[in-house]
């Protein structure tokens, strides 16, 4: 297996500068707390330009000062506004001399043909959709506000316009098991996705999901780190080999967690996963 690529790791074309443009969402999912997922410099009280400048300085202090840079509209649903408002935000970001493209995080139910036509016309935009689950009963239970058919439509419409698209999926939502997750990889494979991001369900303080977990822990599968890595290997074996994998686990600052995480660094996690793939003599797409 020395010449076998274990999995198709997504290589970002630039360093992401996280932005909060002051957008909202049509509803709030039970697991969501946006404050846990963006840096301190990214606040809607600052202009897009100021956030970009401070983001570049933030990364420079950490030795990550080389461009190119991508303006990452991450917080909330960044297509949930009139087209003119979107145009103002995106084009202010693209006017920054250090920015070479934008990444737009949003929901499948917050796009339409007109918005996608405009995004495609920019020629330097990528989309990231929170799909979260392929199961309608799960999406209903977590108050997602749309079904899986909505996600299918959004991804297909992006692909038809040549817009690169990434799908986000959460592993461990209530009612889902290892078996159902592995069954649903076939639905992911059927989507014209360029990349995917997986992460484990995390229980954040004050969210309805955490309250449900505390009331009904039997409805949730909780994996040890070792079990989760094995689940990822099972997923990767079934995943279409041309789909790039941008993330396989996530973390938030410990102060946001109601249930402690595994406490491993990203580099350690990646090394453990690579070793498990090699030990099992397997790779992405082996069972596809």
Q: Is residue 50 scored above 90 in pLDDT? A: yes
pLDDT averaged over the chain?
94
What pLDDT is attached to residue 3? 58
Q: Which CATH number does 15-279 carry?
A: 3.20.20.70
Q: In this predicted structure, which of 29-33, 49-53, 145-149, 226-230 has the lowest mean pLDDT? A: 29-33
Q: Whole-angstrom Cα distance, residue 12 to residue 71?
A: 12
Side-chain half-sphere exposure of 140, counting CA atoms within 13 A: 4
Alpha-carbon distance values, 175 to 32, 81, 178, 226 (Å): 18, 33, 10, 21
- According to DSSP, the residues that pair with 199 across neighbouring strands are 170
pLDDT tens, residue by residue, 260-269: 999 999 899 9
The alpha carbon of residue 16 and the mean position of all alpha carbons in its chain are separated, in whole angstroms, by 13
The answer, yes or no, to whether residue 253 has pLDDT greater than 50, is: yes
Tell me the DSSP string of 12-34: -SSEEEEE--S---SS--TT--G
d(CA 200, CA 196) in angstroms, rounded, equals 14
Confidence of residue 2 (pLDDT cuts 50, 70, 90): very low
pLDDT of the residue at 59 = 87
pLDDT above 80 (res 1): no
Note the maximum CA span of the chain: 53
pLDDT tens digit sequence for 119-158: 999 999 999 999 999 999 999 999 999 999 999 999 999 9
Q: Where are the domains of the chain?
A: 15-279
pLDDT: which is higher, 67 or 279? 279
φ/ψ of residue 166, rounded to 5: -115, 140
The token duo for 91 is 């084009």
Task: Decide if pLDDT at 214 tops 90.
Answer: yes
Question: Minimal CA–CA distance to 235: which of 227, 131, 141?
Answer: 227
* Cα–Cα distance for residue pair 181/158, rounded to 1 Å: 25
CA atoms of 14 and 99, how far apart (whole Å): 9
Instruction: Write the Ramachandran bin of 132: left for phi over 0, alpha for psi from -120 to 50, otherwise beta.
Output: left
pLDDT of res. 49: 97
The 10s digit of each residue's pLDDT in 173-208 is 999 999 999 999 999 999 999 999 999 999 999 999
The torsion angles phi and psi of 247, rounded to 5 degrees, stand at -160, 145
What is the mean predicted confidence (pLDDT) over 6-28? 89
Is residue 89 pLDDT above 90, yes or no? yes
Work out the average pLDDT over 209-223: 95
Find all residues with CB under 8 Å of 174, minimum gap 6, and list them: 138, 141, 142, 209, 212, 213, 216, 219, 220
Percent of the residues in the chain that have a pLDDT greater than 90, as a whole number: 83
pLDDT of residue 90: 98
Q: What is the pLDDT of residue 229?
A: 98
Can you tell me the mean pLDDT for 242-249?
Answer: 95
pTM: 0.94
């Amino acid at each position: 297996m020395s010449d076998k690529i274990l999995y198709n790791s997504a290589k970002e074309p630039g360093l992401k500068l996280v932005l909060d443009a002051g957008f909202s969402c049509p509803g709030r999912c039970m697991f969501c707390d946006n404050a846990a997922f963006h840096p301190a410099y990214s606040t809607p009280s600052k202009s897009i330009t100021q956030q970009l400048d401070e983001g570049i300085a933030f990364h420079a202090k950490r030795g990550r000062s080389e461009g190119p840079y991508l303006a990452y509209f991450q917080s909330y649903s960044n297509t949930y506004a009139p087209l003119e408002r979107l145009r103002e935000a995106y084009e202010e970001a693209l006017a920054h001399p250090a920015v070479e493209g934008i990444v737009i995080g949003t929901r499948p139910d917050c796009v339409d043909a007109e918005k996608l036509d405009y995004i495609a016309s920019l020629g330097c935009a990528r989309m990231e959709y929170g799909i979260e689950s392929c199961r309608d009963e799960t999406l209903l239970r977590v108050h997602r506000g749309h079904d899986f058919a909505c996600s299918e439509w959004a991804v297909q419409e992006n692909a038809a316009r040549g817009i690169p698209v990434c799908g986000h999926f959460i592993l461990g939502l209530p009612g889902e098991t290892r078996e159902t997750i592995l069954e649903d990889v076939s639905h992911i494979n059927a989507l014209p996705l360029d990349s995917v991001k997986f992460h484990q369900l995390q229980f954040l303080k004050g969210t309805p999901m955490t309250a449900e977990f505390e009331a009904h822990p039997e409805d949730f599968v909780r994996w040890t780190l070792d079990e989760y890595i094995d689940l990822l290997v099972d997923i990767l074996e079934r995943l279409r080999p041309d789909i790039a994998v941008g993330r396989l686990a996530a973390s938030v600052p410990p102060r946001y967690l109601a249930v402690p995480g595994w406490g491993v660094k990203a580099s350690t996690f990646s090394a453990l996963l690579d070793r498990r793939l090699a030990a099992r003599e397997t790779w992405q797409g082996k069972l596809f």
